[in-house]
Structure 1
Amino acid sequence: MDTFNASIWTTDTTEVTDLFYETGTTPKETNRPVFSITFLILVILAASTVLTNSLILAAFYVEKKLRTYTNYFILNMTIADFAVGFLCMPIRSMVHLFDGWPFGKVASIFFMGFQNSILGVSICGVVTICIDRYIATFYPIQHYQKKSIRKATAVNVFTWVSSFGLWMMMSTAWDFIQPNNLVTSSGFSRPNYSLTYTSTLFMFALRFGLPFVIMTGLYIRIYFRVKNIGSKHLTKYMKKKKTNEKESSVTGSVCTDEQSSTATVASLEEGPTDIDQTFALPGMSKNVEKSESSRNIIKNDKHDKVTESRASLEDGKPKNVSLAVVPHGGKRLAALENQITNKPQRESRAEGQKAMRTLTFIVFVFIVTWLPTAVTVTTYALFPDFSHYINKKVRLSEISRWVAFSNSLVNPLAYAMAQPLFRHTIVKIICRQKI
């Protein structure tokens, strides 16, 4: 990266110097816009980023089912990515239209601070999702009991405050307190943290190195944990299936005996038939009356217990009522009672799988889009001559920077791929269907 002395912030008579290299390149005038294919591609990239993130925001607004605890972290990243596409990318593309930075030194310092801060928010969002998924995997009960929309909102606000607090201090306040009067070949003010190799690597470690280590480490642990839990569930399922098969063979014979006994009891409960009445002996009518009265008592007792069970369920305070005596609707009442008494203590398996898919896509996209910048910065710090030669040929640093910007474009696509509800809602919005 070339650096120039610009004490008056003009480019016509300024002597060209480089902090690390000697170069014969001079800054160019930036008052004449020159349209190019590169500028058009960058504008299309910025517009696509704004469009995709706008669709995610619209889907979150119109579909209430998307407003879950995990998706509030997605919302935070979407807002940050929208700001990247709406502000950072169009302003950055002005360099290719004017062949340099046309807005002056003060605007350059503020823009560099804002750009680093908003990218930091997006990166912190990925780290936050990884940490939350780690807690949900290893401590599911505590995670389920403590998660709330208010907690997710507080964490999201913290990512903005911490990111802007760090990068505006390091990238903006430092340059105003100790101005260096240096500019890059693109016309931007050179930040003080980039003047030495050590500080450059340290700041990039905060931006990429540390988040990369945290994300990959947590993701690997989560992956193996989920894999082990899945194998255990499969083993338990197979054992349970074998046990059920053995029990079904035993209960088959029992059921036949029960059916025969039930038929006998039913015949007795039906009372004497016409033939029995014809050949009734003296005193038999009294026995019949007694049996009928006993059956009425049993029916009334069952009816009272069913009424009491339903009343306890409607009050929302289940009582210790035995439902075994209820002949009709007993299973339905038992299911209702279980729904009231047995509250879920952890998130469902479907929610966990959806969150895991989302995390996988986000981590993969982050590594792919930020890896070129990591290689460029590392090469610049360790092999400056080689890095300077490559940048003069293909402007590798600028290309890697825009690849990192594209992370804000691909993230919404990852959300749509990981969660079908996002995808279906977006399709309905585009087709103007009623939701």
Structure 2
Amino acid sequence: METFNASIWTTDSTEVIDVFYETDTTPKEANRPVFSATFLILVLLAASTVLTNSLILAAFYVERKLRTYTNYFILNMTIADFAVGFLCMPIRSMIHLFDGWPFGKVASIFFMGFQNSILGVSVCGVVTICIDRYIATFYPIQHYQKKSIRKATAVNVFTWVSSFGLWMMMSTAWDFIQPNNLVTSSGFSRPNYSLTYTSSLFMFALRFGLPFVIMTGLYIRIYFRVKNIGSKHLMKFMKKRKTNEKESSVTGSVCTDEQSSTATEVSLEEGLTAIDQIFALPGMSNNVEKSESSRGIIDNDKGTEDAKPRNVLPAVVPRVGKRLAASKNQILNKPQRESRAEGQKAMRTLTFIVFVFIVTWLPTAVTVTMYAFFPEFYHYIKNKVRLSEITRWVAFSNSLVNPMAYAMAQPLFRHTIVKIIRRQKI
């Protein structure tokens, strides 16, 4: 039986590996188990992934305040990441224990399909959160009116159905319909979609390229929309207030408490959107809290008919939030929108998970790009280190870092997890 080695694409986790072409072989038999430092490290990584995601699931279960519309998307990603740590990572680490795939060809085909599907659900979850935040930023009233737990659940179910439908069809059904009897150097059955450069590139684009373009594009648009439009409206609001004060001082008009309050509330309608949007950016709320302690508050009880017009802007801007949103809704009777606190929390969460996705999946993208355009350099690096195996596990680590990102972005997650660990009553 003639066997030869060739370099070719495969996207079982969207990386390039060596493939052994064999005429009539099945996945090679595994050796006896041999424990190594690499295997123990990978098992520890899998256990850490299960633990961190379990804590997020437990926090979501015991703390009702965490069961918000946005956090249901976080719950969906956490379930997928838990499956990666509980199933994909331990099973994948078996090839380092047995120096090959020990469970046969059929199990290999099913595992490849399941692994790709679960990773697809996690990636789709990040894209879903980006799209939802985009709609909330550009169409805030419509988003607030239509969002619901039922809608979030339906979207989450769709990510599972679409991901498993695509990857089980491409990775499992196709291989059973047209078996190729080829194996990779690690003993896995080689998927049919990796037989050509074009189909492999297409699958890599679905796994990383397209999600990356969508996430970065939407995030950049959201950021500049919030920053630019918010600043523009705030400047307009402040300019109009200054003009009104000058006109009042020139004409010598007298403002009663009731008139001043009404004028202030109407002016808030013009500046509220800008202020809310600006403070929705990560890191902006601290300045507001500091301002409240250093500025005065309007005292309506001391107003008289001969009272001078007062500058209400210093007292209004630091007190945005629930009070101003309530005043706007009561006076103008307009549809309610997402609060500043909710927007800030969602934006901070989005920032963390997009950053984590790019960092953990970028090495795989670099490896594939290197192989496509600089194959000689790729093979030089591969001969020094197991480049494809390293990038594969870096991509797996996305499921470990995601729950840490949720805890960093939302203090309530952190506090609840600490209480769970300390066994405190919640």
Quick check: TM above 0.5?
yes
Structure 1 residue 107, shift from structure 2 partner: 0.6
Structure 1 residue 114, shift from structure 2 partner: 0.4
Give per-residue Cα distances to partners, 1:96-147, cap 9 Å, x unaligned: 1111111111111110100000000000000111111111111111111111
CA pair 317-2 structure 1, distance change in 2 beyond 3 A? farther
Give structure 2 stretches of 5+ with no counterpart. none
CA pair 92-319 structure 1, distance change in 2 beyond 3 A? same
- Does structure 2 retain, via aligned residues, the 8 Å contact 1:110–1:172? yes
- What count of residue pairs does the alignment treat as equivalent? 424
Aligned to 1:2: 2
Give per-residue Cα distances to partners, 1:281-325, cap 9 Å, x unaligned: 9999999999999999999999xxxxxxxxxxx999999999999
CA pair 83-337 structure 1, distance change in 2 beyond 3 A? closer
Normalized against structure 2, the TM-score is what?
0.75
Rounded Cα–Cα distance in structure 1 between residues aligned with 2:282 and 2:119: 100
Structure 1 residue 381, shift from structure 2 partner: 3.3
- Does structure 2 retain, via aligned residues, the 8 Å contact 1:3–1:19? no
- Does structure 2 retain, via aligned residues, the 8 Å contact 1:130–1:215? yes
3-state SS of the aligned residue for 1:34? coil
CA pair 238-25 structure 1, distance change in 2 beyond 3 A? farther
Q: 1:181 and 2:143 equivalent?
A: no
- Does structure 2 retain, via aligned residues, the 8 Å contact 1:4–1:18? no
- Does structure 2 retain, via aligned residues, the 8 Å contact 1:6–1:181? no
- Does structure 2 retain, via aligned residues, the 8 Å contact 1:11–1:29? no
Q: 1:100 and 2:93 equivalent?
A: no
Structure 1 residue 424, shift from structure 2 partner: 1.1
Structure 1 residue 392, shift from structure 2 partner: 3.2
Q: Which has the larger radius of gyration?
A: 1
CA pair 250-173 structure 1, distance change in 2 beyond 3 A? same
Structure 1 residue 234, shift from structure 2 partner: 3.3
- Does structure 2 retain, via aligned residues, the 8 Å contact 1:197–1:381? no
Structure 1 residue 253, shift from structure 2 partner: 10
CA pair 239-117 structure 1, distance change in 2 beyond 3 A? same
- Does structure 1 retain, via aligned residues, the 8 Å contact 2:254–2:306? no
- Does structure 2 retain, via aligned residues, the 8 Å contact 1:416–1:422? yes
- Does structure 2 retain, via aligned residues, the 8 Å contact 1:11–1:28? no
CA RMSD of aligned residues (A): 16.6
Aligned to 1:223: 223
Structure 1 residue 168, shift from structure 2 partner: 0.5
CA pair 141-21 structure 1, distance change in 2 beyond 3 A? same
CA pair 144-338 structure 1, distance change in 2 beyond 3 A? closer
- Does structure 2 retain, via aligned residues, the 8 Å contact 1:80–1:119? yes
Rounded Cα–Cα distance in structure 1 between residues aligned with 2:287 and 2:362: 92
Rounded Cα–Cα distance in structure 2 between residues aligned with 1:430 and 1:268: 44
Rounded Cα–Cα distance in structure 2 between residues aligned with 1:217 and 1:285: 25
- Does structure 1 retain, via aligned residues, the 8 Å contact 2:4–2:20? no
3-state SS of the aligned residue for 2:235? helix
Give per-residue Cα distances to partners, 1:74-116, cap 9 Å, x unaligned: 1000000000000000111111111111111111111010000
Give structure 1 stretches of 5+ with no counterpart. 303-313
Structure 1 residue 378, shift from structure 2 partner: 2.4
Structure 1 residue 232, shift from structure 2 partner: 2.9
Give per-residue Cα distances to partners, 1:310-359, cap 9 Å, x unaligned: xxxx9999999999999999999998997699465210111111111111
3-state SS of the aligned residue for 1:254? coil
Rounded Cα–Cα distance in structure 2 between residues aligned with 1:261 and 1:13: 61
Structure 1 residue 40, shift from structure 2 partner: 1.0
CA pair 432-249 structure 1, distance change in 2 beyond 3 A? farther
- Does structure 1 retain, via aligned residues, the 8 Å contact 2:12–2:112? no
CA pair 393-338 structure 1, distance change in 2 beyond 3 A? closer
Structure 1 residue 385, shift from structure 2 partner: 4.4
Rounded Cα–Cα distance in structure 2 between residues aligned with 1:236 and 1:352: 22
Structure 1 residue 237, shift from structure 2 partner: 5.3
Structure 1 residue 270, shift from structure 2 partner: 46
Normalized against structure 1, the TM-score is what?
0.73
- Does structure 2 retain, via aligned residues, the 8 Å contact 1:117–1:168? yes
Structure 1 residue 423, shift from structure 2 partner: 1.1
